[in-house]
Structure 1
Amino acid sequence: MAGRLWGRVSLVIGGLSLCLTSCDLAPHYHTPHFIYPDGWAGKGIMGDAQPADAIERGQWWTLFHDPQLDDLEKRLEAYNPDLQAAAEVFTQERDIARETESRLYPQLAGGARMSRNKQSEGRLFLRRSNNTPIYESNVAYSGAATWEPDFWDAIRNQSHMQKNLAQAGAAQYALTRLSLQAELASNYVTLRGIDAQLAVYDDSIRYFRTAVEITRLRQGGAIGAGLDVSRAENQLYDAEAAKSDLMAARQIEEHAIAVMVNMVPASFHIEPIKDIRMHFGTIRVQSGLPSTLLERRPDVAVSERQMAAAARAIGVSRAAFYPHIVISATGGFEDSGFDLASISRAFWQIAVQAVEPLFTGGMRRAALQRAWSQYRERVDAYRATVLGAFQDVEDGLSETGLYHQEQLQQHQAVEAALRTQAMTMALYTGGLSNYLDALVAQQDALKARLLEVQAQMKQVQATVRLIRALGGGWSDKLLPDIKSIDPIGPLQYKGLHHARPAGEVPVGVAQHGSEIEPPLAERDFTGAPHETTHP
C-alpha cells in the first residue's frame, strides 16, 4: 500500500518537474539602446571612422614608439599587485557562481558510526536478577540525498545572476588594467616632461651665469651698476632653486612608476632625456569615432552586466511566492555487532516537503519591489555611464585638438622670446640699453620655453586620455561567455589550485619565468638589469 502511494507521489512530482522546470519568472532582458548624439552616426565630426582599430589590442601604448614605455607597461601587466588582485576577485566571483549553481544538483552525503557503550552497575532501577547486559555495541552506516527541484527557476536565476556579476568582474579587471596602463603612461609622460623642463633650466642657467659674468665685468670697468649684478645673481639663483624643486618632483614621479611596476623605488631609475617632442613625436587620433564606442568601454560593460544581474534578481524574488519543495531520502544499516548485510538491519526514509508561506507581513512583496527598484537603479547607472563615455570622448577630442594648436602657438612665442632675449643682451653688452630690459627678456624666454614643454606634455597626456576613453582597443567580445564562467566541473577533484581559464583574465596571475623577469631587479631603463642578489 505504501509503495503504491509513493509511486503516485513520484508520478505527480515527475509531472510537475516536466511542466514547471522551464518556468522562468525573470523579465525578458534586452540591453537598452540609446539614440546617438547628432552627428554620431556618420555625419559631422563624429563620423563612422575607426580610429580605435588602429590601436593594437591590449598594447595601445605602442603608438608612442617608446621602448622604455613598452617595457614598463609589460611589467605592469605581469606584476602589478592591484591588477593581480583584480584577477583574483574575478576568480572568487566565478566560485560564488559555481556554489550557487551546485544547488541544481542532488546533494549526497554518507556517514558511519561505531560505538561501544557501558552502563553503570549502580544506575537506578537496575535488577541484578535478570542479567541485564551493561555492555553493548552499535555499528551503523548510512547515506542521504536531498534535491530541490527548481520548479520556478529560482536557483537558475540566482546562478545566472552570479554569472552576470562574474562577467562584470571580468570587465572590471579590464577597466582596472586600462586605468593602470593609462596612469602609468601619464606618469611616464609627466616624467619626460619634467626632463625636458630640466633641460630648459640647464640652458637658461648657463645663459644666466654668462649674464652674471657680463654684469660683473661691466661693474669692474665702471660702466655697469652693482644693481645689475644683484639682479643677474637673483635671476640665476632663482632658476637654480626652481630646478631643484623640479628634480624633487621628478623623483616622486619615478617612485610612483616603480611601485606600479612592482619594483623597489630606491633601486629604480629612468635616465633623463632632453626633448619631449623628439621623444614622443606627434600622435594624432582621427576625429571620427566608431559607432561601437559602447562595446569598447570596460566600464560600460561592467554597468551592463550588473543591470543584467539585477533583472535575474527579479525572477528570484518572484519565485519566493511559490511553494518551496525539497525531496530527501535517507537509508542505511544499523546493528549491535558487525552483521550489517541483512535486509532486516536496514533503515530508510523518503520524504517530500513543500512549504508555502501564508502570511509574512508583506516581506515577499517588499523584496520584489526592492528587486524592481534595484533594476531601475542599474538602468539609471548604465545611462549615466554611457553619458560619461560620450563626455570622456568629447573631452579628449577637445583637448587633443586645442592642445595641439596651443603647442604650435607657444612654439612661435618661444622663437619670439629667444630673439628678444638675444637682442636685449646684445644691446646691454654694447651699452645701448639697461640691464632691466635684458632681465625681463630672459624671464620671458624661460617662461615661454617652459610653457612650450608643458603644452607638449599636455598634448601627449590628452592623447592618452582619449585612447583610454576609446577603450584602449578593448572589446566586450573579450568577456567570457556564460558557459565558461564555471571555474571547475561538478565532478572535478584535481587541479583546484587555480580556476580554469575564462576570457582574457589570467589564471594564476603571477607570471614568473616570463621574458621580463626579474620583478624586483635593480634596473635603470637604459640597458640590462644590474647584477643584484635577490631573495
Structure 2
Amino acid sequence: MVMSVVCLCACTVGPDFVKPQAQQVVEWSKPQKSAASQAVTAELDERWWEVFNDAKLSALSRRALTDNLDLQLASSRLQQSRAARQVITAEQYPTTSATGSYGRKRNSAEGLSDPSANNGRSAYSLWEGGFSASWELDIWGRVRRETEAADASLEVAENDRRGVLLAVLAETAQDYIQLRGVQSTRAVTEQNLDVARHSLKLSQLRLADGVATDLDVAEAAAQVAAIEAHLPALQQRQSQLINALSLLMGEPPQALHAELSTDAPVPQAPPRLAIGLPSQLAERRPDIRQAEARLHAATASIGVAKGDFYPRITLSGNVGSQAMQLSDFGSWSSRQFGIGPQFNLPLFDGGRLRGVLKLREAQQQEAALAYQHTVLRAWHEIDDQLSRYNSTQLRRDSLAEAVRQNQIALRTAQQQYVEGVVDFVNVLTVQSALLATQEQQVESATGVSLAMVGLYKALGGGWQSVYPLEEATVVR
C-alpha cells in the first residue's frame, strides 16, 4: 500500500522543462580596420570599472552598490519573491494545529437540544481541546509543479536584481566619464579663451600703433565673447551630471559637488580589453537568464493547470477532549477523534479549467519567443558595441592629428598677422577650427570610454563579482 502511494506521488502531469539552446555565434565580429585598443577573447574582467585605474570611479561604484535606491528596491522585490516561494512550497507538507476553547453557555428550553440535559433551565460550561492535521496527497504533481514555478519565479527576481545592478554600475561609470569629459572640454575652452584674449590685446596694441583697424579689434572681441558663451552651458552640464551621480548614490542634489567639481582627466580604456567567450553569454547576461526562468515558470504552470483536472485527495484527522467539567477534561471518557480521506473532483465548470490550460500554453509559447528575441537582441547589442568601440578609437586618433595640425596653423597665422602678411580674419578662422577640433577630440576620447562601458554592459559583466551564483541557489 505504501509503495502504491509512493508510485502515485511520483507521477507529475504537464511537460518537463528543457533548457533552451541559445542561438550561438562562433566568434566575436572583427572590424575591417582595427584600432589600437583591441577586444580579445579572454576571461572577462568582472570588475571592469577597475580597469580604468580611476580611484574615484571605483569608490563611486562601490558606494552605488550599497546606497543606490533602485538596487534596494530590486532587493526588496527579491525578498518578496522568496517569501512567496515559501508560501507556495509549504503546500507540500502536512499542516497541523492545536485548538482549545472554553465557553459558558445556556441553551433555549424550546431548542432542539441542550447538552446540559437541563432543558435550558441552567447554564453549563464546555471545555474543548485537541490537535488536527491535514495533508494533500500530491498524486498528480500539481503542488510540485507549483513549487517548480515558484522556484523559477524566484530566479526571475534574482536576475532582475542582477540586471538592475549591472545598469547601476554602467550608469555610474557613464555619468562619471561624461562629467570628466565636460570638465576636459571646459579646460580646453578656457585655454582657447586665453588665446583669444591675447589676440584681442594684440589687436588693441596694433590699433594704437595704427597698424590694425577697428574691424580687427571688433572681430577679436567677438571671438572672446563667442568662446565665453560656451562656458555657462558646460557649467550647467557639469551640475546635471553631479546631480545624476548624487541620485545614483541616494543623495540629495549637489551632495557630491565638493567631491567631484575638481577637474580630472577622462578615464581611459586599457590597450587590451578581455571580453570572454561567446559561448558564455547566456550565463552572463541577466536578461537572458531572466527570460529562461520565465520560460521555466510558464512551462511548470502548464502542469499546475493540468493538475486541476484531477481529483485532490486530502488526508485529515483530529484528536482531542471535550468535557463539561474541568475535572473531567483529559479523562479517557472525554476523548474524541476523527480521521479519514477527502477528495474533490471537478465535474462541470463551464470550461474554466480548459480555458486556464489554453492560457498557460499560450503564455509558454510567448515566453519561448521572448527568450529567442532576448538572445538575438543581445548578439546585436554586442556587435553594435564592438563596432562602436573600434570606430570611436579610430575617430579619436584622427582628431588628435587634426588638433596637432590646427595648432601649427594657429601659430603660423598669428605670426603672419604680426608680420602683416594675413588679415586678422585668418587668425579667427584658424582659432575657431582649433577649438572645434579640440572639443571633438575630448568628445571622442570620452566616447571611447563610454563605448567600453556599453560593451561590458552588453556582455553582462559586473554582477558576478558582487552577487555570486551561489547566493541564488535554491534549497529544494
Q: TM-score normalized by structure 1?
A: 0.80
Matches within 5 A, 1:143-182: 143-182=131-170
Matches within 5 A, 1:104-503: 104-118=92-106, 133-269=121-257, 270-273=260-263, 275-276=265-266, 279-280=267-268, 282-285=270-273, 289-338=277-326, 339-473=328-462, 478-480=468-470, 484-485=474-475
Could you give the per-residue CA deviations for residues 350-378 of structure 1, whole angstroms, max 9, x where no partner exists?
Answer: 23221211222221122111111111111
1:53 to 43, 51, 69: 43
Distance (Å, rounded) in 2 between the aligned partners of 1:131 and 1:458: 94
Distance (Å, rounded) in 2 between the aligned partners of 1:314 and 1:325: 20
Q: Does 1:88 align with 2:76?
A: yes
SS at match of 1:148: strand
Paired residues of 2:43 and 2:274 also in contact (CA < 8 A): no
SS at match of 1:109: strand
Paired residues of 1:199 and 1:274 also in contact (CA < 8 A): no
Could you give the per-residue CA deviations for residues 500-535 of structure 1, whole angstroms, max 9, x where no partner exists?
Answer: xxxxxxxxxxxxxxxxxxxxxxxxxxxxxxxxxxxx
1:27 to 12, 15, 35: 15
Identity of aligned residues (%): 27
- Residue identity in the other structure for 1:438: V
| 1:42, distance to aligned residue in structure 2 (A) | 8.6
Question: Which sections of structure 2, spanning at least 5 residues, go unmatched?
Answer: 33-38, 112-117
SS at match of 1:422: helix
| 1:74, distance to aligned residue in structure 2 (A) | 0.6
| 1:206, distance to aligned residue in structure 2 (A) | 0.4
| 1:131, distance to aligned residue in structure 2 (A) | 9.4
| 1:29, distance to aligned residue in structure 2 (A) | 1.9
Distance (Å, rounded) in 1 between the aligned partners of 2:298 and 2:236: 49
SS at match of 2:348: coil
- Residue identity in the other structure for 1:295: E
Q: 1:116 to 1:375 in 2, by over 3 A?
A: same
Paired residues of 1:53 and 1:473 also in contact (CA < 8 A): no
Could you give the per-residue CA deviations for residues 26-75 of structure 1, whole angstroms, max 9, x where no partner exists?
Answer: 312222214434xx2599779xx9646140x3x22111011111111111
Deviates more, 1:183-192 or 1:287-296: 287-296
| 1:140, distance to aligned residue in structure 2 (A) | 1.0
Could you give the per-residue CA deviations for residues 174-226 of structure 1, whole angstroms, max 9, x where no partner exists?
Answer: 11111100000000000010111011011011001111111111222222221
Paired residues of 2:13 and 2:140 also in contact (CA < 8 A): yes
| 1:452, distance to aligned residue in structure 2 (A) | 0.3
SS at match of 1:103: helix
SS at match of 2:101: strand
Distance (Å, rounded) in 2 between the aligned partners of 1:482 and 1:60: 22
Distance (Å, rounded) in 2 between the aligned partners of 1:158 and 1:205: 69
SS at match of 1:139: strand
Distance (Å, rounded) in 1 between the aligned partners of 2:274 and 2:3: 62
Distance (Å, rounded) in 1 between the aligned partners of 2:181 and 2:361: 51
Aligned residue in 2 for 1:490: none
SS at match of 1:230: helix
Paired residues of 1:194 and 1:246 also in contact (CA < 8 A): yes
Paired residues of 2:9 and 2:140 also in contact (CA < 8 A): yes
CA RMSD of aligned residues (A): 2.7
Distance (Å, rounded) in 2 between the aligned partners of 1:220 and 1:482: 79
SS at match of 2:187: helix
Q: 1:340 to 1:50 in 2, by over 3 A?
A: farther
Distance (Å, rounded) in 1 between the aligned partners of 2:29 and 2:224: 55
SS at match of 2:129: strand
Q: 1:173 to 1:204 in 2, by over 3 A?
A: same
Aligned length in residues: 461
- Residue identity in the other structure for 1:73: S
Paired residues of 1:121 and 1:134 also in contact (CA < 8 A): no
Distance (Å, rounded) in 1 between the aligned partners of 2:110 and 2:24: 91
| 1:305, distance to aligned residue in structure 2 (A) | 1.0
Q: 1:74 to 1:474 in 2, by over 3 A?
A: closer
Question: Which sections of structure 1, spanning at least 5 residues, go unmatched?
Answer: 1-10, 124-129, 487-535
SS at match of 1:272: coil
Paired residues of 1:52 and 1:473 also in contact (CA < 8 A): no
Deviates more, 1:356-365 or 1:373-382: 356-365
SS at match of 1:484: coil
- Residue identity in the other structure for 1:360: D
Distance (Å, rounded) in 2 between the aligned partners of 1:267 and 1:42: 42
Paired residues of 1:334 and 1:345 also in contact (CA < 8 A): yes
